[in-house]
Amino acid sequence: MSRTHESTPRADGFRMPGEHEPQQAVLMAWPERRDTWREGAGPARQAFAAVAAAVNEATPVIMCVSAEQLQTARSMLPDSVEVVEIPCNDSWMRDIGPSYVVDDRGGLRGVDWHFNAWGGEVNGLYEDWSLDEALAEKVLQKRGEDRYRAPLVLEGGSIHVDGEGTCITTAECLLHPGRNPQLSQAEIEDLLRDYLGVEKFIWLPRGVYNDETDGHVDNILHIVGPAEVVLTWCDDAQDPMYDICRECLKVLEAEQDAKGRSFTVHRLPLPGPLYISEEEAAGIEPSESMKRSTGERLAGSYANFLITNDRVVFPLLDPAQDEIARTILRQIFPHREIVGIEGREILLGGGNIHCITQQIPAG
């Protein structure tokens, strides 16, 4: 039985753990939208199934699926992946699922943020996000987990935490008028302090170039452990990413985490640059708000990986860079298996492996 608490996680002694901490399961949602996923979402389903299989070897996966897709999903997923009937408007579990918080006594609760399709009336990507908005509560109810309803529009991909009091985010996203225009930066920090149990905020100026989420932090940087991050890096001075990653590095070098430690910053090469091909663009059904045209720059990044128990599952995006990224990740995570999964189809939808997964901590 799930109960909604009127207090806040901080008041009740809860905090959001880092992704590097132990996990009991990983949530995902099955892709269907024809204006996000090409060719009726068939290739995306293969990609999601491959990610689910790779994650499931380290951590049990729970896949949320609409009634219409139950049979297809069941037939494409390993038997040990749990399939539950919970529909969504699109399939970015990081952004629509609960952000889990834990306490010191093994307690586990979910934070249910408001969701408005990455910008609502201002620049949202679709008009009806009611199923996405309802998903976190349905997941918590189904699992019998307690809930906090946070009075803030926020996607899980727009924050990273270290579990030790630090939150890294981007000003481009959290201060965008499409989210919480009535709140100041200080008021947003106050709410995040209460709902994530953090003390210290690091505000990166911008996320990856041409990212339709308004620069989610999870596409440019990943916290890999206390005071240690990977940052997407670009050495081509002609590329818009050149300045963006240097601005981020400057902030990280000038800041300390909540415990006063300076950051170790590992650089991950940028794949590509990657662009939508004519064939890919032709397979996506046109819609009002999501524009997909031939030659458009894709917001590809190796930083969009998932850390899940003894594995790191990262997107393969560019044969010229994939092995370099894998080698760097191996050095950063010597005790975890580094598994690469084809990420192109997920990237065409506007995100990658971190964006389609949401870990449930061990609690």
Q: By CB under 6 A, name the binding residues for ligand KQY.
A: 36, 92, 94-95, 125, 155, 157, 212-213, 216, 218-219, 349-351, 355
CB of 215 to ligand KQY, least distance (A): 9
Ramachandran category for residue 311: left, alpha or beta (phi over 0 → left; psi -120 to 50 → alpha): beta
Marked catalytic residue, from 64, 173, 245, 355: 355
CB of 38 to ligand KQY, least distance (A): 13
Closer CB to ligand KQY, 81 or 125, in the complex: 125
CB of 350 to ligand KQY, least distance (A): 3
Closer CB to ligand KQY, 94 or 222, in the complex: 94
Residue at shortest CB range from ligand KQY: 157
- Are 44 and 227 contacting, i.e. CB atoms less than 8 angstroms apart? no
CB of 181 to ligand KQY, least distance (A): 21
Closer CB to ligand KQY, 174 or 258, in the complex: 174
CA 176 to chain CA mean position, Å: 18
What is the per-residue burial (b if ≥16 Cβ within 10 Å, else e) of 149-171? bbebbbbbbbbbbbbbbbbbbbb
Residue 4 token pair:
């909604």
- Are 321 and 340 contacting, i.e. CB atoms less than 8 angstroms apart? no
Closer CB to ligand KQY, 32 or 226, in the complex: 32
Active-site annotation holds for 355: yes
The span from the CA of 109 to the CA of 125, in Å, is 29
Closest CA to 57 of 21, 85, 81, 91: 81
CB of 330 to ligand KQY, least distance (A): 25
- Are 120 and 178 contacting, i.e. CB atoms less than 8 angstroms apart? yes
Closer CB to ligand KQY, 110 or 157, in the complex: 157
Residue 138 token pair:
């349905």
Give every CB contact of residue 322 below 8 A, 6+ residues apart in sequence: 271, 316, 340
Residue 113 token pair:
């943020």
For the purposes of burial, counting CB atoms within 10 Å of the CB of 111, is it exposed (0-12), middle (13-18) or buried (19 or more)?
A: buried
Which residues are the active-site residues?
355
